[in-house]
Amino acid sequence: MTDIQYLFPETYQASRERFRNNLSAVQAKWKNAKLFQHTLSYDNDLTIDWIYAEAEGGNEKIFMLTTGEHGVECYVGSAMLQRFVEQYMPKLNPNKTGILLVHAINPWGMKNHRRGNKDNIDLNRTFIWKGGFDSAFNPDYDKIDSFLAPSAKLTNIFLNNILYFLGLGWHVAQMGMSNFRYALLLGQYRNPQGLYYGGKELPEETRVLMDLYRQALSKYDQILHLDMHTGYGPRYQMSLVNSAFEKGNSEEFQKRFNYPLVVAATADEFYAIRGDMVDYIYEMWRSDFSQKRLFSSAFEFGTLGNTLYGLFQSPRVMIHENRAYWHGAKNERIHKKAKLGFEELFHPAAKNWRQKAVADADQAFDGILSAEGYF
């Protein structure tokens, strides 16, 4: 097997530079390709970068690939973007197909190895279609807030793991497993230091992407969009996670894309959330562009696994990291340990994990782009 380690960047800056250098490869196919940037208002070293090219013979279809909505996940996302540029972009027809590649929707999170942006906002809870940021949303979150976001220094990981499992057991006994997961993952707009926080207003990163999606849906007759994520699902099989608004059946997609694992982002098959980016694209389509053809979905590269163990470990890891971020840890060793666990959840170092992730992405790129008529 060819070495794929080089695909995975070490730093935000290195990843961004490589992305910018892809412009010449894109221009070799699309002469009109350009590199664009949005510089974040709070740090002018941080940019959302994108390369866009129009189809040269009329705007029949567009392919869009986005990465790093959850900053720390962009190390894997950037690897997949690079893989696409090297292996699959050459097969597109520049005469019929436009292209939009987005590097690091959340550059602060990528640089600082966090999921949220500078304000701890999970951008995938902010793509709300014609709705406000309602602080009263998800009232059940209050029942688990102090469990998820303890406001004290992280002192002892072993002890806190025991407390976590006791707390988890208590809450699950009180609320039931499905209500607990629902309250945890749905998103909350009240506690700025809590998990899955959606903020109080539209973040600038979200606004940039909303504009890009509107331009693409306005201009093209067919839109294919793939967004890159990590952290959920089985460890050695990437899940293609369709929007709850996608009416197609998951099993039929598996056949059509020749890809073994397709799930819908519903409470039954995956989990329900508010302000999801892919859902937003479907809502925009349904409202203003429903005569066009749209398929938008997410690659979810699982890490801890789909067993009960994996499901319970990921909140534990996120609680410790978030706690150490806001309140510090007793010492540097404990802080490092909390961060390392988090890194393994969203950006695994293991070579065999990375190889399988790239192989799964290969199969999915090939299957989806073929089935949608891009190759």
Binding residues for Zn ion (CB under 5 A): 70, 73, 229
Nearer to Zn ion, 229 or 274 (CB): 229
As a dihedral over the C-alpha atoms of residue 302, residue 305, residue 309, residue 313, rounded to 10 degrees, the angle is -20
Residue pair 54/220 in contact (Cβ under 8 Å)? The answer is: no
Tell the smallest beta-carbon distance from residue 207 to Zn ion (Å): 19
How crowded is residue 56: how many other Cβ atoms within 10 Å of its Cβ? 16
Residue 82 or 303: the one with the smaller Cβ distance to Zn ion is 303
**What's the Cα-to-Cα distance from 206 to each of 123, 196, 355, rounded to whole Å?**
7, 15, 31
Instruction: Write out the E strands in 186-325.
Output: 222-230, 239-242, 262-264, 293-301
Taking the complex as a whole, how short is the minimal distance between the CB of residue 277 and Zn ion, in angstroms?
10
3-state secondary structure (DSSP) of residue 355: helix
Residue with Cβ nearer Zn ion (33 or 186): 186
HSE-CB of 216 using CA atoms within 13 angstroms: 31
Q: Tell me whether residue 101 or residue 273 sits nearer to Zn ion (CB atom).
A: 273
Which one, 280 or 289, has the nearer CB to Zn ion? 280
What's the closest the beta carbon of residue 70 comes to Zn ion, in angstroms?
4
In the complex with Zn ion, the residue whose CB is nearer, 70 or 339, is: 70
Whole-number minimum distance, CB 69 to Zn ion, in Å?
6
Q: Which residue is nearest to Zn ion (CB)?
A: 229
d(CA 278, CA 32) in angstroms, rounded, equals 27
Kindly state the smallest distance separating residue 24's Cβ from Zn ion, in Å: 30
Please give the Cα distance from 267 to 7 (Å, whole number): 34
Question: Could you tell me the smallest distance in angstroms from the CB atom of residue 231 to Zn ion?
Answer: 6
Shorter beta-carbon distance to Zn ion: residue 125 or 229: 229
The DSSP H or E segment spanning 106 is none
User: Other C-beta atoms within 10 Å of 272: how many?
Assistant: 17
Q: How far is Cα 334 from Cα 320, in angstroms, rounded to an integer?
A: 10
CB of 282 to Zn ion, least distance (A): 18
* Residue 44: both structure tokens together: 């002018």
- For the chain, the first-to-last Cα distance in angstroms comes to 24
